[in-house]
Amino acid sequence: MTDSLSLRLDRAVAALPDAFPGPGGAVAVLRAGEVLVRHTWGYANAERRIPFTPASLFRFCSITKQFTCALLLDRFPDPSVLDADVAAALPGLAEPAPHALHLCHNQSGLRDYWAVAMLHGSPVEAPFGEAEAARVIGGMRSLHFAPGTRYSYVNQNFRLLANILQARAGRPFAELLRRHVFEPAGMAGAMLTANTAALPDGGEGYEGTVESGFRAAVNRILWTGDAGLGASLDDMIAWEKFIDATREDPQGLYRRLSAPTTFADGTPAHYGFGLGRTVEFGRPATGHGGALRGWRSHRLNLTAERISVVVMFNHLSDAHAAAVRLLAAVLDEAPAPAPEPLPAPAWLGAYREPESGLAVRIDAAEPGVVQLRFGHRAERLFLRPDGSASQGDVALHPTPAGLRMERSGENLASLLVPCRGEVPRAGLAGRYRCAELEAELTVADAGGALYGAFSGFLGQGRMERLEPIGPDLWALPCPRALDHTPPGDWTLAFERAADGSVESVLLGCWLARRLRYERLGGRS
């Protein structure tokens, strides 16, 4: 390592605790199999004063997905032999089931089970284990898009794969991971830590901020192949070394995991086998983030440059942003320039995306930037001189026919439908029932303000204030959920009969779309 690279990395690492404050963290940087950075700070458990070390266990959450797919490819090089197993695991589905590869690539069309759990009235910190997961998954009767045509993030895709691998082998999933993935990769301390309530070495995740203070996060989900990985910084260093050592082997696990993937129409996909395909500083990269209440992590691998970066926070700071900072130091890249301060465009406002039925809200942020709310988190897009706005795989283009939204990572492009005009409030209050879920939505007028909440076999959800978007289009906020972040605001599209009375509502979010709720007790 040159003196200049060492200095850049030292400065970047030294800045992380202040830039991303919280109880503790750990980072690693490797190049060509050599460890350039192996650093930890703070506390794995602040109450018990347990320091964060390279051997401290950490919840890697969704980074687990690539390990589940690695096990799948190790045991079944042709995943299509498991297609019948996938169909058998979805007995209530009234249409052709997705295939195993659709699950691996998040192209299944299934609605995410943690999002659907909120529709069943689950309190945000309720237990969610095998029985609850089985009932939610087993009750799925429809898909929100045809398998292979679109991308949406679905945690139970990987839970289903783990269950199938376990059943096929007749051995626990944890044992299979250890024997066929962790041990060959030299990940001596890695394990499946399905119970999120505690880590064996006392490690804790924290919510909060420096201003409000930090508190131990509450988690009661039982995870398997979707997010159950427990590992240390040293375990992840071993994984990155294993990737580099096997990079030339055509049958190497990571080489197969990171191979190009496509949608059914042949369009290149940006996700496959539990890995995102991204571009960082103009260079192709693969990686994934992990997140749960109190935990954030990210790993990036640039195969051509033979560079790996791993970031672990036991608090809610942006691990991806930290990973990009470290990557910039390795590559000697300057930070992205500030956006050009272009004026706010005339096409700001509220829309509806016609295929998904979801609301699209576009607002001005700082000069040169707009905020797009469509997925499960707000996205920042940079205005361009041609009147468009884009960032990554998302773009908004004004056309003579209207505003066009392109989301290449989802294989989705459509003209947005404007939602303008008066927002009527009368006649919306009442109870609505979804036959598919056997669950209910209650909309209440409480002194002139509208509120909504879900209820089902998991309980009775909290009443939340509805936010008007456009004529008969409302958002029901979901500020917390079973997973690390909410699934995004729920779009409520109220539907009226010819006489103007409300008869149903089409409900959805990015993770779970197009669920119809019929009004109970007649129209109003």
pLDDT at 340: 86
Q: What is the mean pLDDT of residues 513-520?
A: 96
Q: Which residues of 143-173 are buried (b: 16+ CB within 10 A; e: fewer)?
A: bbbebbbbbbbbbbbbbbbbbbbbeeeeeeb
Residue 482 clears pLDDT 80, i.e. is over it = no
What domains sit in the chain, N to C, each tagged with a CATH number? 3-109+145-331 (3.40.710.10), 349-418 (2.40.128.50), 430-519 (2.40.128.50)
How far apart, in whole angstroms, are the C-alpha atoms of residue 263 and residue 256?
17
Please compute the mean of the pLDDT values over residues 45-55 and round it to a whole number: 97
74 pLDDT more than 90:
yes
Q: For residue 149, give every residue at least 6 positions away whose Cβ sits within 8 Å of its Cβ, in sequence order, or none.
A: 107, 109, 263, 264, 265, 411
pLDDT reading at 182 higher than 90: yes
- DSSP-derived letter for residue 151 is -
Dist. CA 341–CA 336, nearest whole Å: 15
- Over range 238-264, report the average pLDDT: 96
Contacts of residue 468, defined as CB under 8 A and 6 or more positions apart, other chains included, come to 423, 425, 474
CB atoms within 10 A of CB 460: 14
Query: Which candidate, 406, 1, 30, places its Cα nearest to that of 238?
Result: 30
Q: Which residue has the higher pLDDT, 481 or 59?
A: 59
3-state SS of 59-127? EEECCHHHHHHHHHHHHCCCHHHHHHHHHHCCCCCCCCCCCHHHHHCCCCCCCCHHHHHHHCCCCCCCC
Q: H or E element: which one contains 16?
A: helix 3-19
Q: What is the pLDDT of residues 347-389, one digit of tens each?
A: 999 999 999 999 999 999 989 999 999 988 899 999 999 999 9
CA distance 260 to 37: 30
Q: Say what the pLDDT of residue 69 is.
A: 98
- Residue 34 has a pLDDT of 97
Which token pair is 343? 């004026």
Q: What is the pLDDT of residue 522?
A: 61
Residues 6 or more apart whose Cβ sits within 8 Å of residue 87: 93, 97
Helices 156-169 and 64-75 sit at what angle, rounded to 10 degrees? 40
Looking at residues 437-462, what average pLDDT do you find? 96
Could you list the active site residues?
62, 65
Task: Tell me the mean pLDDT in the region 277-294.
Answer: 95
Q: Is it the case that residue 524 has pLDDT exceeding 60?
A: no
Q: Residue 219: its pLDDT value, please?
A: 86
Say what the pLDDT of residue 230 is.
Answer: 96
From the list 260, 265, 81, the residue with the least C-alpha distance to 161 is 81
The pLDDT-based confidence of 327 (bands split at 50, 70, 90) is: very high
Distance CA 482, CA 491 (A): 19
Split at pLDDT 50, 70, 90, the class of 484 is: low
- Give the pLDDT band (50/70/90) at residue 523: low
Helix (H, G, I), strand (E, B) or coil at 26: strand
Report the mean per-residue pLDDT for the chain. Answer: 95
| pLDDT confidence of residue 148 | 98
pLDDT at 1 over 80: no
Q: Cβ-count burial of 39 within 10 angstroms (0-12 exposed, 13-18 middle, 19+ buried)?
A: middle
- Beta strand pairing call for 275-280 and 283-292: antiparallel
The pLDDT score that the predictor gives to residue 200 is 92
| Dist. CA 172–CA 140, nearest whole Å | 26
**Which is nearest to 190 in space by CA: 158, 123, 238?**
238
The mean-pLDDT minimum among 236-250, 269-283, 360-374, 472-486 falls in 472-486
Q: In the predicted model, what is the mean pLDDT of residues 176-203?
A: 93
**Banded pLDDT at 218 (limits 50, 70, 90):** confident
Measure the CA–CA gap between 272 and 259, rounded to whole angstroms.
8
CA distance 458 to 126: 9
Q: Percentage of the chain with pLDDT > 70? A: 98
pLDDT at 101 over 90: yes
Do residues 182 and 121 touch, judged by C-beta distance below 8 A? Answer: no
Residue found by looking up tokens 């609505």 in the block: 432
Give tens-digit pLDDT for 9-44. Answer: 999 999 999 999 999 999 999 999 999 999 999 999
